[in-house]
Amino acid sequence: MSETWQVGELAHHLRDILRNSDVKSVAVQGELTQYKVAASGHAYFSLKDDDGKLDCVAWRSKAQHFPNDLEDGMQVVVIASVDLYPPQGRLQMQVEQLKPLSTIGLLEEVKRKLIEKLRLNGDLERLQRPLPFIPRHVVIVTGAGSAALADMLRIRDERWPDIRCTVIETVVQGRDSHSMLPRALRAAYCLQPDVVVVGRGGGSPEDLWSFNLEPIIEAILESPVPIVSAVGHESDHLVSDLVADHRAATPTHAMEMVIPIRGDHDMFLDEFTDRIGAALNRWLSRRRERLNSLAARLRSAPLIGLGKARQSLLMLKNSLTRSADARLQHERRRVERCRAVLQLTDPEAVLKRGWSLVKSTDGKLVRSRDVAAKAASLSLTFHDGDIAVKPMEDD
């Protein structure tokens, strides 16, 4: 660039750039420092954090609405626009509003950052491991002698008084909990549980806050078995709820999720024993029925055959009878015919009609003249008797 800037010219140019930029009425968070209200009523201070520091000014019209108890070291959020003051070349934020962050506000910010980090690590999308159907060893990590513990043990008594259960009593709130809770959790994992419940009863957000802290969250993420987060009440939402395999609304609820009702299982098994027995009995009785019906059919089968045989026999007999009758009739007719023929050929009948028989003396029929001519005497048979005759010699 060949043109040489006058310094004021550049300062004003930079101010114009800033004023035209989008760094206007932005929210900025930082630690309040060198806070001072001048006699004019304007407030001068700086905001800083680990990475930077910016000077701020609030004109009296704005500063008069600031809280009275502002102190250096407080975390505050300001709404401000960035400006450059050319006479002194000073970059400063012109503050319109200032609000101190409450403790919880601060914590919320830490929590937000932790959640963001977990999201980036993929810890929030982990697959939830299912709770064991029948847990062999339930380990509970909770407040020593707490009401929550008493409630949890009451639920155990109600559901399955003899189920194997280990309670690790620890500190669940305050600075000590930041190290004790992770220790308790890691000790729990070494006891070979197949499910872990970590929780505490209700309290203020600050009381529950340990369950939003990274050391505790890390320890929860290390769990080798399904882990249930049961902190406070239904309305409390903590980071531990996001990283545990399961979230229970309350410690009591966690125990209801984890511990089956022994009586139900006994009933279930009894019912199955009955059902299997009943099924077998039904099977047997069905087979028996089928066998019985088969047997009945077998028994009646020969009768049916015999009936049929009998029937066909009867039919045969009938047809036999019929054919025999026909045959008999036929024979009868033949006999009649024979009889008629016989009657016609009856010698007696012939003799009656005027014929006679010629016999020799020895009774033989004489059938020719030559035999008769040679005979000494002959016998003539008429229908009414014989007569001896002598043949006469012809010439």
Partner 1 sequence: MNYKERMERLEEIVRVLDTGESELDETLALFEEGRKLLNECSKELEEAEGSLRKLTVEEAEQSNDES
Enumerate binding residues for partner 1 (CB under 8 A): 133-137, 144, 153, 156, 160, 162-170, 180, 183-184, 187-188, 190-191, 262, 265-266, 268-269, 272-273, 275-276, 279-280, 282-283, 286-287
Min separation Cβ 266 and partner 1, Å: 8
Helix, strand, or coil here: 70? coil
For residues 15 and 137, which CB has a smaller minimum distance to partner 1 in the complex? 137
Give whichever of 120 and 190 is closer to partner 1, judged by the CB atom.
Answer: 190
For partner 1, the closer of residues 102 and 179 by Cβ is 179
> CA gyration radius for the chain?
67
**Considering beta carbons, is residue 116 or 264 the nearer one to partner 1?**
264
In terms of CB distance, is 187 or 380 closer to partner 1? 187
Give the integer Cα–Cα distance in Å for 105 and 287.
Answer: 77
Compute the least distance from the CB of residue 314 to partner 1, in Å. 44
Residue type, 354: G
Q: Two tokens at 49? A: 């954090």
- Specify burial of residue 216 (Cβ count, 10 A radius: 0-12, 13-18, 19+): buried
Dihedral sign from CA coordinates of 86, 88, 91, 93: negative
Question: Which residue lies nearer to partner 1 by CB, 275 or 369?
Answer: 275
Return the bridge partners of 359, or none.
365, 379
Min separation Cβ 166 and partner 1, Å: 5
DSSP string, 336-362: HHHHHHHHHH-HHHHHHTT--EEE-TT
For CA atoms 189, 192, 195, 196, give the dihedral sign.
negative
CA distance 223 to 235: 25
Residue with Cβ nearer partner 1 (136 or 330):
136
Cβ-based neighbour number of residue 38 at 10 Å? 11
| Residue 237 burial by Cβ neighbours in a 10 Å radius (0-12, 13-18, 19+) | middle
**CB closer to partner 1, 15 vs 129:** 129
Ramachandran class of 128: left when φ > 0, alpha when ψ lies in -120 to 50, beta otherwise: beta
The least CB distance from residue 61 to partner 1, in Å, is 57
